[in-house]
Structure 1
Amino acid sequence: MRRLLAIFCLAAPFAGILWVSSYARITPTLLGIPFFYWYQMLWIPVAAGLTALALVLLRRDRRTDSEGTPR
């Protein structure tokens, strides 16, 4: 289950950025910045957080495997 969640955490930023038609517009603006730009910039900290979460999940999964306890 942890590995599946880690895969989702790593795949979400790709899906959010590669689906261009979902954010290829000007409105709403944020401090005068068109949506197209601030949406992409928002993904930078989100992707970093999701990558860190995936790392934590995979480390816990590896630790559980090495201890020999059932998942």
Structure 2
Amino acid sequence: MSGKAAGRVTGLQWSAWNLLLLVPLLMLITPWFNFDKPRLLGLPFFYWYQFLFVIVGVGSVALVYVMTKGKPVVTGKPDRLAEVDGLDEGADQ
């Protein structure tokens, strides 16, 4: 099996790029940003830092997606999806 079904990569992928998905979790450490100052456009640090991390989170997920979308899956293992498709009773009729 080639690891592709209908032109799409199937199976579990691992890449070092996936570690970037841990960056948005830093927003959960509240004591790092639980402050009033410095203010930006009148907003306390607490709020604009959270908004900044929304942008950072979306950017990191987008970067990981772009960098890993064409990677091949692990080779040498059978593709279970191809086996399941062959079991469909209505496929031959």
TM-score w.r.t. structure 1 length?
0.74
Q: Quick check: which one's strand share is greater?
A: 2
Larger-Rg structure: 2
Q: Is 2:31 the partner of 1:14?
A: no
Q: Which runs of 5+ in 1 are unaligned?
A: 67-71
> Aligned residues: percent identity?
33
Q: How does 1:1-71 map to 2 (within 5 A)?
A: 3-5=15-17, 7-15=18-26, 17-62=27-72
Deviations 1:28-65 (A, max 9, x none): 00011000000001111211111010001211323xx5
Distance (Å, rounded) in 1 between the aligned partners of 2:19 and 2:40: 28
Corresponding pairs, count: 61
Question: Which amino acid counterpart does residue 3 of structure 1 have in structure 2?
Answer: S
Question: Which amino acid counterpart does residue 11 of structure 1 have in structure 2?
Answer: L
RMSD: 1.9
Q: Quick check: which one's helix share is greater?
A: 1
